[in-house]
């Protein structure tokens, strides 16, 4: 799983195509960023106390990998409107990117304070707790993410991976299967379920999962070569 799936409060429109020669001469991405920054800053000149505009400024910095500037923008948004869960969420993401784990946890908790059903925040907290080795806290966070959003397929997969970490492969399997049922084109859940079947010696079930993966994603997908090789190995053991 990629750790930080971000929630944008407002759509951020990045302008393109302003002056062909200038853009050709420099870095197109940098030119695009400057256009977006200029647009938001012009609005901020007239509305300097707008938390939404500072939030959008942070989104731009995030998009171009400028974590320090993004964090500063989100902090400013929060100073203007404390009850801004999306800003707390993005601030937490920025803190984690900077290696400021405890501050990230606190910021996610603040996001949840103002939005108790924030499934993404619970999921990300689960990831941080798991990385820190606090599996009980991680389990509780993932489970709460699922309670907040019963269609959150990534959280089901993450909870399965947590049980795998504890060497509870049988307990992990239902969560992988639920992730697949919710999102049949989620490759990691197939791979994780097949690995659990292998660990438990469930050859028929593993074969079924691998065949389902190939049927869903085809022969050229990321894990297809491994799936075909494993199926050949399983065929030899019959």
Residue pLDDT, tens place only, 197-216: 999 999 999 999 999 999 99
Answer whether residue 163 shows pLDDT above 60.
yes
Residues of the chain with CATH 1.25.40.10: 28-110, 152-238
Instruction: State the pLDDT at residue 216.
Output: 97
Alpha carbon distance 205, 216 (integer Å): 16
Q: Do residues 148 and 24 lie in contact, with contact meaning Cβ atoms separated by under 8 Å?
A: no
Answer whether residue 8 shows pLDDT above 80.
no
Q: How many other CB atoms are there within 10 angstroms of residue 30's CB atom?
A: 11
> Strand runs (DSSP E) across the chain, as ranges?
none
Alpha carbon distance 88, 82 (integer Å): 9
Classify domain 152-238 by CATH number: 1.25.40.10
Q: b/e string for 47-77 if b means 16 or more Cβ within 10 A?
A: eeebbbbbbbbbbbbbbeebbebbbbbbbbb
Instruction: Please report which confidence band the pLDDT of residue 15 belongs to, taking 50, 70 and 90 as the band edges.
Output: very low
Instruction: Please report which confidence band the pLDDT of residue 2 belongs to, taking 50, 70 and 90 as the band edges.
Output: very low
Task: Count Cα neighbours of 155 within 13 Å in the Cβ-side half-sphere.
Answer: 24
Answer whether residue 1 shows pLDDT above 60.
no
Dmax (CA) for the chain in angstroms is 74
Instruction: State the pLDDT at residue 17.
Output: 31
Among the ranges given (56-60, 170-174, 197-201), the one the predictor scored with the smallest mean pLDDT: 56-60
Of 97, 41, 62, nearest to 74 by C-alpha is 62
Instruction: Please report which confidence band the pLDDT of residue 113 belongs to, taking 50, 70 and 90 as the band edges.
Output: very high
CATH 1.25.40.10 fits 28-110, yes or no: yes
Instruction: State the pLDDT at residue 26.
Output: 59
Instruction: Please report which confidence band the pLDDT of residue 137 belongs to, taking 50, 70 and 90 as the band edges.
Output: very high
């Amino acid at each position: 799983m990629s750790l930080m799936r971000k929630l944008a409060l407002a759509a951020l429109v990045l302008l393109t195509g302003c002056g062909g020669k200038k853009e050709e001469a420099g870095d197109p991405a940098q030119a695009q960023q400057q256009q977006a920054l200029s647009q938001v800053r012009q609005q901020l000149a007239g509305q300097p106390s707008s938390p939404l505009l500072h939030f959008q400024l942070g989104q731009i910095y995030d998009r171009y990998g400028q974590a320090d500037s993004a964090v500063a923008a989100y902090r400013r948004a929060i100073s203007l409107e404390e009850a801004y869960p999306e800003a707390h969420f993005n601030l937490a993401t920025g803190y984690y990117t900077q290696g400021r784990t405890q501050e990230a946890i606190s910021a996610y908790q603040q996001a949840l304070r103002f939005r108790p059903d924030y499934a993404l925040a619970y999921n990300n907290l689960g990831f941080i707790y798991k990385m820190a080795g606090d599996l009980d806290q991680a389990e509780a966070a993932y489970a709460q993410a699922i309670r907040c959003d019963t269609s959150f397929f990534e959280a089901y997969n993450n909870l399965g991976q947590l049980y795998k970490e504890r060497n509870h492969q049988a307990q992990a399997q239902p969560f992988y299967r639920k992730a697949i049922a919710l999102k049949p084109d989620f490759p990691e859940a197939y791979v994780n379920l097949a690995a659990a079947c292998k660990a438990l010696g469930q050859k028929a079930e593993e074969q079924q999962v691998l065949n389902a993966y190939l049927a869903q994603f085809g022969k050229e997908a990321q894990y297809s070569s491994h799936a075909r090789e494993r199926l050949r190995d399983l065929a030899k053991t019959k």
